Amino acid sequence: MLPRIDLELARKSIVEGLKNYVFQVAGKKGGVIGVSGGVDSAVAALLAAEALGSENLHPVILPSLATPKEDVEDAFLVAEKAGVTREKVEVIEIEPILRCFDKALGPMTHMERGNLAARVRMSILHQRAYKYNSIVIGTGDKSELLIGYFTKYGDGGVDVLPIGGLYKTYVRQMALHLGLPERIAFKPSSPRLWPDHEAEKEIGLSYEIIDEILFGLFDKRLKPEEVSKQTGISMEIIQRVINMHLKTDHKRRPPPVIEPVIRYL
């Protein structure tokens, strides 16, 4: 179990930090956010509305065939809780766009098409951000970022990460703290890149375990063996999480420039 945190302090500091980043550092008028009905975008949207003012927040719902109807309803509820009226929430179906890709690209695996769906969403959010003189608010949490569980240049292609410093465990607690319903706070995490896609099933580990391991390694800075000793989690599982982190290193940094040897003549 992770230690409890002062959720109110975390909330206030994220709100202050995001406000400063969008208005002062980026010099923009607001933020665009994809709202899925999942807990990450719910918490990010509520914090962003508080930081930027709901009039400067542009929530966009981007359903595909893999999106359950209830998620769309939950996304509307999140927008409403963020102070954005139904009429101001944009809904853009991405299935017709994906069908154009089907035609152009031919058969795809569900992973190829799913990652494409994430990149189609990213493209739409950036178009809207440009149009509204805003930036794209990301929804990645610390757990997803550290294990690289996101689509490179898809949901990873964002401008700022307000909940990137909170493990999934804390994001769920923050959701309750912000008054979101338990149904959203404890909804099984799912990228919904294909029907019935669930994060913990795909990864093969629960976020409870992943967070305990990441907390031990990255916050307490313990050696893997010590994390195993303190948590009772096997070294094999800890090594799997470490491998996920290492294999996705490229997703957390800008592409390397291959430096030429330059001789001035």
Ligand X SMILES: Nc1ncnc2c1ncn2[C@@H]1O[C@H](COP(=O)(O)OP(=O)(O)OP(=O)(O)O)[C@@H](O)[C@H]1O
Ligand Y SMILES: Nc1ncnc2c1ncn2[C@@H]1O[C@H](COP(=O)(O)OP(=O)(O)OC[C@H]2O[C@@H]([n+]3cccc(C(=O)O)c3)[C@H](O)[C@@H]2O)[C@@H](O)[C@H]1O
Question: Does 134 contact ligand Y by CB under 6 A?
Answer: no
- 144 annotated ligand-binding residue: yes
Nearer to ligand X, 206 or 222 (CB): 206
- 38 annotated ligand-binding residue: yes
End-to-end Cα spacing for the chain: 62
- 40 annotated ligand-binding residue: yes
Q: Which does 152 bind (CB under 5 to 8 A by kind): ligand Y, ligand X, Mg ion, none?
A: ligand Y
Shortest gap between Cβ of 202 and ligand Y (angstroms)? 5
Positions touching ligand X (CB under 6 A) are: 34-36, 38-41, 61-63, 67, 121, 139, 155, 189-192
Q: Residue 215: which residues within 8 A CB-CB, separation 6 or more? A: 2, 167
Q: Which does 56 bind (CB under 5 to 8 A by kind): ligand X, ligand Y, Mg ion, none?
A: none
Helices (H), 109-206: 110-131, 142-147, 168-177, 182-185, 199-203
Angle between helices 168-177 and 207-214 (to 10 degrees): 110
Q: Are 137 and 32 in contact (CB under 8 A)?
A: yes
Q: 165 — phi, psi (to 5°)?
A: -100, 10
Dist CA 174 CA 8 (whole Å): 9
Shortest gap between Cβ of 137 and ligand X (angstroms)? 8
Which of 7, 10, 123 is CA-nearest to residue 62? 123
Shortest gap between Cβ of 139 and Mg ion (angstroms)? 9
Nearer to ligand X, 18 or 227 (CB): 18
Nearer to ligand Y, 28 or 192 (CB): 192
Positions touching Mg ion (CB under 5 A) are: 36, 38, 190
- 168 annotated ligand-binding residue: yes
Nearer to ligand X, 50 or 155 (CB): 155
Question: Does 34 contact ligand Y by CB under 6 A?
Answer: no
The residue type of 135 is I
- 123 annotated ligand-binding residue: no
- 37 annotated ligand-binding residue: yes
Question: Does 95 contact ligand Y by CB under 6 A?
Answer: no
Distances (CA, A) of 73 to 3, 34, 86, 241, 262: 33, 14, 11, 34, 57
Q: Residue 85: which residues within 8 A CB-CB, separation 6 or more? A: none
Give, as ranges, the residues between 140 and 159 that touch ligand Y (CB under 6 A). Answer: 144, 149-152, 154-155
Residue nearest to ligand X (CB): 38
Dist CA 54 CA 69 (whole Å): 25
Nearer to Mg ion, 74 or 212 (CB): 74
The sign of the dihedral angle between the CA atoms of 182, 117, 32, 145 is positive
**Which positions lie near ligand Y, rule CB under 6 A?**
115, 118, 144, 149-152, 154-155, 191, 193, 199, 202, 250
Known binding-site positions for deamido-NAD(+) = 119, 152, 159, 250-251
